[in-house]
A = this chain, B = another copy of it.
Amino acid sequence: MFFHRQELQFSSTPDKPDAVFARKLQEVLGGQYGEITVAMQYGFQSWNAHIPGKYRDLLFGIGAEEFGHVEMLATMIAQLLEDAPLGVTGDAVQDDPAVAAIVGGTDVQHAIVAGAGARPVDSNGNPWSAAYVTASGNLLADFHANANAEMQGRVQVARLYHMTEDKGVRDMLGFLLARDTMHQNQWLRAIEQLKEDGLEQLPVPSNFPQKKEHTDVSYQYLNFSDGAAAADGPWAQGPTPDGNGTFSYHDGPTTSAPMPEPTRPDARLFGTTDAPNPVEKGAARVQDVLHKE
């Protein structure tokens, strides 16, 4: 269950309206790596968790915080939009070029659809999609997804920080940056702990018996491009991070198989084929079905 308190985790008030920045801020609210994504992602990971205790509690604990960040950003965006101009008039643009920038740079749905309110979309107006969410039930994989999400999120907030000079906005962004710092560290630490606790190892999933894979190509760097520096990295030589092998380097593939013959499915699917009778394998039946019935 979730309970709501009519407070914010941090002050979220801009110095002055800025409809253009409001649009940009939508990215970290409703974009691929916005707050809705991490809130829903940690939620589904906790509901799909297969172990009680500290890992599930961690997911519950951070997930609820992220829903609060959604609210913080929505509140900020509504304030940035509070005095947004309605639209363009020739005179206004002639008088003040800044109006032209505003006209062009805003999310017009902020005004037309939401009446100067935040929307669950990214900075280009794409609706947030649950296709952004990762929750596989394998915690080592999912915690890497989480670490990545917090990194992408912090990169985006850092970029936004330099796209505004509003002290109120920067103050809030500084808070979000700190929380992203924390959450990056948390997921990276949790990754190590999973391995220390013996719950998962590399390669993920570690309880799939590796002998069933084609181990001859498990540690080969197969370079399908022609870059000269390709062989210089530690991914082309030396021990592998999973501790099970040694990297080797190869120009292109080490295995190959002939391209299979094209398929010739049932003639009643009306694909194009070069056989005199279009369905070699079932000629009798096809004649019957197509031409006699």
Within 8 A of B (CB), among A130-177: 130-141, 144-145, 147-148, 151-152, 154-156, 158-165, 174-175, 177
Within 8 A of B (CB), among A206-254: 207-210, 212-230, 232-235, 240-242, 245, 247, 252-253
Q: Are B101 and A185 in contact (CB under 8 A)?
A: no
How many copies, total? 6
* Complex contacts, A144 vs chain B, CB 8 Å: 144, 147-148, 151
Cβ-defined partner of A273 (8 Å) among B51, B65, B227: B51
Known pairs A1-B224, A189-B234; list 10 more (Cβ under 8 Å): A3-B3, A4-B60, A9-B257, A24-B112, A75-B260, A89-B165, A90-B98, A107-B124, A115-B270, A185-B203
Closest Cβ of chain B to A218, distance in Å, is 4
CA distance A4 to B65 in the complex (A): 9
Q: Are A214 and B178 in contact (CB under 8 A)?
A: yes
Q: Does A283 contact B (CB under 8 A)?
A: no
CA distance A32 to B109 in the complex (A): 11
Within 8 A of B (CB), among A71-102: 71, 74-75, 78-79, 81-84, 86-90, 93-94, 97-102
Q: Are B207 and A290 in contact (CB under 8 A)?
A: yes
Q: Are A217 and B182 in contact (CB under 8 A)?
A: yes
Q: Are A224 and B3 in contact (CB under 8 A)?
A: yes
30 inter-chain pairs at a CB distance below 8 angstroms, sorted by A residue, are A2-B65, A3-B3, A5-B226, A6-B60, A11-B257, A21-B88, A44-B74, A50-B272, A50-B273, A55-B233, A57-B225, A60-B224, A60-B230, A83-B266, A87-B164, A100-B104, A103-B104, A115-B270, A116-B271, A124-B126, A125-B126, A126-B127, A137-B272, A138-B155, A139-B271, A151-B204, A161-B212, A184-B204, A189-B240, A199-B273
